Amino acid sequence: MKPYCTQNDGDCKTCSLVNYGRDCRNNPLHGGPRPGAGAPKQAPPDATRRTFLLTDNEHNKVREFINKLRAAK
């Protein structure tokens, strides 16, 4: 029970707002951002997404070069 609940003698389960996923103060009951949630970052923090059209052969050469650059750091 929330200390600020004002309806139904503090029984949030019977409150009509629960049907909308909210409590008495219109706060969400579930969900929201959590620390550590989401997909892990795979690119270096200073990387910027860019788009290039490459052949398969060019892509393989660029990938090798990038791997060498990152390994040298």
Beta partners for 22? 28
The secondary structure of 24-52 as a DSSP string is TTS-BSS----TT-SPPP-S-TT------
Model pLDDT for residues 42-69, shown as the tens digit of each residue? 777 788 888 989 999 999 999 999 999 9
CA 69, chain centre distance (Å): 29
pLDDT at res. 65:
95
Query: Above pLDDT 70, what percent of the chain?
Result: 78
The pLDDT of residue 19 is above 80: no
pTM of the model: 0.38
- Using CA atoms, how far apart are residues 59 and 68, in angstroms rounded to an integer? 14
Q: Can you tell me the distance from the alpha carbon of 20 to that of 5, in angstroms, rounded to the nearest whole number?
A: 16
* Backbone phi and psi for residue 18, each to the nearest 5 degrees, phi listed first: -65, -30
Binning pLDDT at 50, 70 and 90, where does residue 4 land? low
